[in-house]
Each structure stands twice: as C-alpha cells, then as structure tokens.
Structure 1
Amino acid sequence: MNGHAGTIHSVSHEETLGLLDEKSFSDVDSGSSSLKGYGSAPHNYHFLKLPIIRLFYQGPPAVCLFFVISGYALSYKPLKLIRSQNYEGFASTMSSLTFRRIIRLYLPPAFSTLMVVILLRLGVYEWTRTFANDRAYMRNVVEPHPERLATSSEQVWHWAWSMFKFVHVFSWNKFGGSTSYDVHLWTIPVEFRCSIYLFITTIAVARLRTSVRFLTMLGIMSFTYRNQRWELFLFYSGMVLAELDLIRGAHSPAPALPILEKTYSKKSALSGVIWAMLSILAMVLMSQPDARCSDTPGWKWLCSMIPTWWQEEGYRYWQSAGAILFVLSVSHSPRWQRFFNTAPIQYFGKISFAMYLVHGPVLHTVGYMIEKRAYAMTGIEGWWYNFGFVLSSFVCVPAVIWAADVFWRLIDVPTVKFARWFETKCIKQQ
C-alpha cells in the first residue's frame, strides 16, 4: 500500500500543475480545478473527477494512507512483544525505534535538499524559473521555485538553518517546519511528531489488559479527534488495527491442511464479498473532493455531517475515515493482499520514501524542461494543452522513478544501515 500511495502522491504533484485545465482554474476562492468534485459547477464534469478514478492522481488521500500505515508499522512489533509479555524485548525495541527515528526520517531529506542546493548553485533551477512561474503553463497550482541566493556560503547557511527548523517538534503548525528547498516535505516533521506521540502512548498502555488498553485508546483517540489532530488520529488508528490483526493472527502462517479439507466455504465467500464492498466504500470516502465538497452531488449530505467545530481542512475528514477503512479492508481481503504483494507494487514500496523525496527536485528541473518542450510541440490551446501535459508525463514519470531508484540505493538503504550501526556503537553493551 505504501508503494502504491507513494506513486500516486508523487504523480499528484505533477498533475496539479495542469492536467485538468478548465476555465475554473481562475476561480481562486474554490481552489484549482482538479481539486473540485464532479458536478460541483456546470463545467466540472470531467470523468477523471469521478469517485475512485480521482484517487489515481489525488494526493491528500495518499497522505492519509501513509499515516495509517506508519502507525501500523511502528506499533506492530512493540504490540506483538506486549502481547507475549516480553517486556524486556519491548523496552529494547522501543528504545531502538525512538533512537533511530530521527535519523531515519531526517537524514535522507538532508541529502535530497542538499542536492537542491547544489543544483541551485549550478544554475539548473534558473533554466526553468520563468516557466515555473508562467500562468500560461501552470494553470492549476504554482509551486514555489527554490530561490538562488547571492553567494554559495549564504545559500549553504540558509539551507543549514532551514534544516534546523525542519526538526519542528514544538507546535502543530502544519507547515511550521516546511523547507523552501522542497515544499512537499511538510509531512516529515508531522511524521516525527506523531511517531513520538505514538511511542509514548505505546509505553503508557503496555502493561494494561487488552480490554483496558482498547478502552484507553478509545479515550485518547476521542480526545485527539475532538482536537482535530487528524494526522495523530490516523497514527493511533494504525496502532489499533495492528493489535486487531495480532489478536486474530492475521500474519501467522496458516496450518497445513489435507487437500480434502481445503474446501471452499460459503462463509469465506460471503466474507470476501463484504470486505470487497467495504474497500469500495473506503475508496469512495477517500475520494472526497479537496474543494467545493458541499457543492458536489453525492457529497452534499456527507459534507453537512462534518462537525461545525472542525476547523482543519474539510477534505481531511472523510478522506481520513476512508483511509482507516481501506487498511482494515485490505487486512481482511486475500485478493487485495495478493495485489499489494505483486512484484511491481513491492518494488514501489521499497522506493516510495525515495520517490517522495526526489519527485519535487526532478519535477522542478528535468520535468519543467520536458514540459516546456512538449508544449512547444503541441501548443497550449484547448485540449492540446492537456495532450502536451500527458506527452511530457511519459518522460517525467520514468525520470522520477529512475531518480528514486538511484536515491534509494545510494542514500536510503545506506541510511537505514547507518542508523543501526550508529545505534550499536552508542548503546551500552551488557
């Protein structure tokens, strides 16, 4: 799921530049055209805006999935040790997870943003600066183009201070730790804060009985929900889903049965249908439009159910619910699991973090150069604009995947190994 979500998240930032070019892009108050729902206005009837279909390019639902999966992955082993009452192993695991988390999350972005600094000093970003700010081409979202400062020393110091502020743990301001060298990385500080909260909570509930632990988590999650901390709520949801899977032995190998006993039951067939339907419902909820939800047919009633006290982005509400339900459905669906265990999806899972880190720099350099040439070939009038955008994607997307693969092999994998090595050098040997 992480690989699939990572690919969609990366593609979404390219798409928001102009895939759905419509007259509505000038409607600033209601957001860019691709963010609006199907039928929210007389000209918003493009089939790409239909529920589920829009998930192939809509970024925010992928972010919600990231957070649920992160909560699940970070808490699965600690919860497994808790349930086996291996508290010594639990203490060691929690210490290791907490110690290595900052290295795992922040060292790769330090390398990727330093790469941006080098490209800035080489003048590569200047080749596309005019194009990056030209509304004739950027008809949806104009992403900030990193600024080239007067001297290299000034640039490096600016980057270093930006990285210092990037470790943003003292407030919940969403973009508080965002770096101008790659605005897409705003989720890294969020991931770090939520990880620390998750670790603290896991330690707090470790010795509770299972029933009491679930009741405690219900109270914590209710408090988190009422305070509109949707990102932390998703992390906690992943933790709860992980324990539910442990209880039912979801990841335990099934006992070998004689061939005659491997019968196909109506009960399992019905269960498969139910979870398939719930996964479809989950994808519909994740398809909540990012803009003009209350004007979108089929969403007016659901949007009216969002509490009036909810001041966060409205689209996070049902997208978060859909992400939780989707992970739950996949954990009960062998068909979905087979899909996510296929070789291509597993590969994208491995490079997903690297793709997240490099897609911005690649898009702002190579991507913009390719797009400019594509538009020169197709023109930008009417649907020729869309055709030029799609044409450029045949080069831009593979370029992002290639860069992600290189970054994964040269930076991401060594970072994981370095974190483990560094920990072994620092811990007290018994």
Structure 2
Amino acid sequence: MLFSIPRPKLGPNLLHLLPRHGTHTSVLKSLLPSFIADIIFPEQKPNWRLHPTSYLDGLRGIASVIVFFCHYTENEFRDLTRAYGVDQGEPSGWIQAPFVRIIFSGRPMVHIFFVISGFVLSYKPIKCIHARELDKCYTTLSSSTFRRAFRLFGPCVASTFMILLLNQIGFLGDGRFTFWDQLWDWKNVVFRQITWPWAWDKDLSPGYDIHLWTIPIEFAHSMLLFMVILMVARLRLRIRQAMVFGLIVYCLACGKWAAFEFLAGLFLAEIHVLQAARAKDWESSEMALFPAKRSAGSTVKTMFHVSIILVGLFIGGWPNRDADKTPGTRFFLAQTPMPFAKMDHLAPQKFWFGLAAAFMVWSVGELPVLRRFFEGPLAQYCGRVSYAVYICHGPVLGLFSKLVLGSPSRPAVGQPGTPDFREAVMGDGVRGLMGVEGTTQKTMSWFVGLCILGPLVIWAADIFWRAIDNPVVSFGKKIEEACLDDSAPSPRSQGYSAAA
C-alpha cells in the first residue's frame, strides 16, 4: 500500500455496493491506481518485500518523478529554469535557488539511472562470484543479456505505437500522415532510433517520444557491462577491482560518460557485497554480543557522506543556460577536465552529473536516514512504476497540458478603431486563474498545474506498468525458457577446461 491509510469502514448498507468477484471487479481494479485498488481490495494486495538493494529502486523512482517535473517545467514554465542570481530582467524566485531547484532538474537524474542500472545489473553476478558459484554467475549473465532487449525496448515499442494511434485520431500531433505512411515512419523510428544501440552515448532524439533517447544508450552499455563482468569474473578480488577502476578512469579519459556510470555502478555493487559480508561476519562474532557505541569515526563518516549529498544536490541544480555566470556553478565549469571541457556545450555538465551520481548513489547507501526513506512505501511505489512514469509522462503532458494550464489573460492593445487594436482576451485554465506576471505567479501556476497533471501521469503510469510493463517482463522470461536447450551437456561434463 502506498500510504498507511486504513481501509474505510463501510457500513453494511454500503459494503455490498463494492463488487468483490468477477469481470466487473477485474475491470474496476485494472482502471484504478494500484494503491487505491489495494485499499478497496486488500485481500488481493501483492506482498511487496524489501531486498538488500531496495533503496536503489526507491531512488530510481524518485528520480523518474523528478524527470517528469523537469519536462513539465521546461516545456510549460521555462522562465523558472533560469539560473539563480543572474540578472535576466526578472528577479530570481526561491524555486530557482540552489538545492531547491533539484526538484525539477531532470538531467542529472538520467545519470543516476545509469549508475543504478550498473549497480543492479551487476549485483547478482558479483554475489555469485564471491560465493564461488561461477556457473551460476554465467547463467545469470546469459539470462540478463537475453532478456535485456525485451525489458527495455518492449514497453517503448508499445507506448510509441499508442502515440501513433493518438496522432491518427487527432489527439497528439497534426495527423497529417495517412495510417500506412505513419506506420512506416514509426517503424523507421523504432529501428533507427529507439532500438539503435550503435550511437553509444549520442542523443538521437527519437520521434514519437523524444524522452526515449536514453533507451538505446541504456541497452548498449548494459551489453558492455555484461562483457566486463564476464571478463573479470575469474580474477582475484584486488585485481578485479583494479581493472574495473582502471576502465572507469579510461572511460572518463575518453569522454564516455555513460560507460563510466555503468562501470561505476559495477564498482559500487562489489563494495556493497563486501560490506554485507563483513557485516555478516561481525554479527556472527562474539563482538556482536556487546552494544555498539557511536564513535568519532562514525560521526566523521556520516558528515563525509552528508557533504557528498549536499555537493551532489548543488551540482544537480546546474542551470540549462548561463552556467558560466551562475555563482558556484561557474567554479565547477572552470574545473571541467579534458575532453569534456571542449566536446560540446553539454559535455561539462555530463561530466559533473556523472561524477556526482556515482558518489551520491554510494552515499545514499551509507546514510541510514536516506536509506530508510528510499525503502519507504512512497519511494518503493515510485520505484515500481518508475519505468512507466518515464515512458508515459511525455504523452500525458502532450494530451492534457494545454487543457489544464490554459492561457493567461491579455489586456487590450492600442486604441479602438485603429488598425493595431487588439481586444482584451479572458484567460482560462490555471494560467488564467493564477496569472503568470512575475516569478511568484508563475511559481503558483507551476505548482497548481503540477497538482493536477501529476496524478494523471501517475495514474496512466500505474495502468501502463500493470498492463504493458509487467507483461513484457513476463513475456521475456517465457521466451527465454522456451528457447533454452536444457538437454545440452555442460562443458565440465564433456571434459573441457574453463579456458577452452
């Protein structure tokens, strides 16, 4: 359940009004957001359990919501993304201030996605390596590699096809294509942009949903990650860590930010496994019988990780424009190393976003307060629907933003009877109600619009998660099981060496 709200107490005359079984129940439950359906039908509520990396799911969920906030703000309230403290003809508002502006800074969240992906995809193989279960490690890598395309591309193919249909009936786009022409155009977008892994870390700006530019990058670097794990699986611990760290430095030296982030996730996953093993050894020792005392070292460690989080939040508020004029940000911009300093205008922020993402993912796991928050019900729910939120927020905003936000009132211009006279126009929607004069009114309009559009995005994402996302994952598993050759003898049974 998303919120800790008891089920409403319905009297005997009202309880029978809620359907309990049959087709109507299934339809009602499928159309309601899952956390509301869980309140109405508690006996059908899934039993979600935490696992050692659940906090990363929560972090990814909150990050996906921030990406939605980002695109909503950049598309509809672009003035609020201005750099704080830079004179642009209008005073800066509190929402533009450092640290606060992270709530609509979606660009660094993409880098957090990639570090988390590297961590989560590496976690199980690394655990198998430490347990000396190399056969299980190789099986896990084989399964993950086979199913990765289904997991990433399947929901995107479905969502963009829905956008095609919405375009054809006139709800999105101009509908200028015939159905067959647009179907061919959609096919080209799917094959040459959404599922195109050969550009590595280039923004291909896919048609139908430009926000899916990260998906081919995610796929390509997942394959790179699996190859690196396979390469280092049989190495000794210190040699493996040194090699992975060397590859991380090499990727930075080559300007390959996404590769750096995935491999940083691999490095952090091994640190996590080592720490868990040490904690288990400590719990089984005699020292665990004595109560632990908070030492000066633990206080210093906490302050260190808090400092990392604060610096990361500040870097995450990197403005889209005028970074060279923004207090604080211009310092980091000046320290950007080569080749990021000269690649393109976005490369410096990608370097700092990637670096901050790696350290922040590490520090979140080291701070119990943050870890508990990301393991909480709200963050965990966001984690479950995170991919659906990422996929659905663009089309939902395209469908409802203009309807909800409307336009502001405009006063009359010129003198009546003259050629340049324009009559006053009454505003409508949130902008007409709240106004957009000055930063305060824009911020209020932004907030009210978000309170209306946010639930629509979450609702659509929840339905997409259950109707498309989860079935695609299950479909990938079934395809893999159907294709497996269980009759094939293992190399060991044939007398082949591991190096053959």
TM-score, L = length of structure 1: 0.86
Shift of 1:61: 1.1
Indicate conservation of the 8 Å contact 2:105/2:316, yes or no.
no
Alignment counterpart, residue 201 of structure 1, candidates 221, 228, 239: 228
| 1:272 to 1:384, Cα distance in 2 relative to 1, 3 A | closer
Of residues 390-399 and 356-365 in structure 1, the stretch that sits farther from structure 2 once superposed is 390-399
Structure 1: segments with no counterpart, 5+ residues: 22-32, 126-145
| 1:387 to 1:275, Cα distance in 2 relative to 1, 3 A | closer
Identity score, percent: 31
Partner of 2:264: 237
1:397 aligns with 2:454: yes
The separation in 2 between residues aligned to 1:293 and 1:47, in whole angstroms, is 18
Alignment counterpart, residue 216 of structure 1, candidates 221, 232, 243: 243
Deviations along 1:113-145, whole A, 9 cap, x unmatched? 1111111111112xxxxxxxxxxxxxxxxxxxx
Deviations along 1:11-39, whole A, 9 cap, x unmatched? 11001124353xxxxxxxxxxx61x4322
Partner of 2:430: 374
The separation in 2 between residues aligned to 1:89 and 1:288, in whole angstroms, is 43
The separation in 1 between residues aligned to 2:237 and 2:87, in whole angstroms, is 50
1:97 aligns with 2:144: yes
Letter in 2 for 1:39: G
The answer to which structure, 1 or 2, has the higher relative contact order (CA under 8 A, 6+ apart) is 1
The separation in 2 between residues aligned to 1:327 and 1:251, in whole angstroms, is 20
Q: Secondary structure, in 3 states, of the residue corresponding to 2:267?
A: helix
Alignment counterpart, residue 478 of structure 2, candidates 416, 421, 425: 421
Deviations along 1:144-163, whole A, 9 cap, x unmatched? xx452331111122112211
Alignment counterpart, residue 182 of structure 1, candidates 181, 202, 209: 209
Alignment counterpart, residue 38 of structure 1, candidates 67, 81, 84: 84
| 1:316 to 1:152, Cα distance in 2 relative to 1, 3 A | same
The separation in 1 between residues aligned to 2:318 and 2:201, in whole angstroms, is 23
The separation in 2 between residues aligned to 1:244 and 1:259, in whole angstroms, is 22
Partner of 1:139: none
* 1:16-415 superposed matches below 5 A: 16-19=74-77, 21=79, 34=81, 36-41=82-87, 43=90, 45-125=92-172, 146=173, 148-165=175-192, 166-172=194-200, 174-176=202-204, 178-249=205-276, 255=283, 261-266=290-295, 267-310=297-340, 311-312=343-344, 313=346, 314-372=348-406, 373-382=429-438, 383-415=440-472
Shift of 1:90: 1.1
Letter in 2 for 1:339: F
Deviations along 1:58-78, whole A, 9 cap, x unmatched? 011111110100000011111
Indicate conservation of the 8 Å contact 2:114/2:258, yes or no.
yes
Shift of 1:302: 2.0
> Which of the two has higher C-alpha Rg?
2
Partner of 2:65: 7
| 1:94 to 1:47, Cα distance in 2 relative to 1, 3 A | same
Q: Secondary structure, in 3 states, of the residue corresponding to 1:265?
A: coil
Partner of 2:7: none
Deviations along 1:87-132, whole A, 9 cap, x unmatched? 111111111000000000000011111111111111112xxxxxxx
Q: Secondary structure, in 3 states, of the residue corresponding to 1:148?
A: coil
Aligned length: 397
Of residues 406-415 and 385-394 in structure 1, the stretch that sits farther from structure 2 once superposed is 385-394
TM-score, L = length of structure 2: 0.75
Letter in 2 for 1:41: D
Deviations along 1:159-200, whole A, 9 cap, x unmatched? 122111121122236223x42100011000110011111111
The separation in 2 between residues aligned to 1:61 and 1:120, in whole angstroms, is 31
Q: Secondary structure, in 3 states, of the residue corresponding to 1:328?
A: helix
Q: Secondary structure, in 3 states, of the residue corresponding to 2:199?
A: coil
Of residues 180-189 and 258-267 in structure 1, the stretch that sits farther from structure 2 once superposed is 258-267
Shift of 1:356: 0.4
The separation in 1 between residues aligned to 2:273 and 2:316, in whole angstroms, is 26
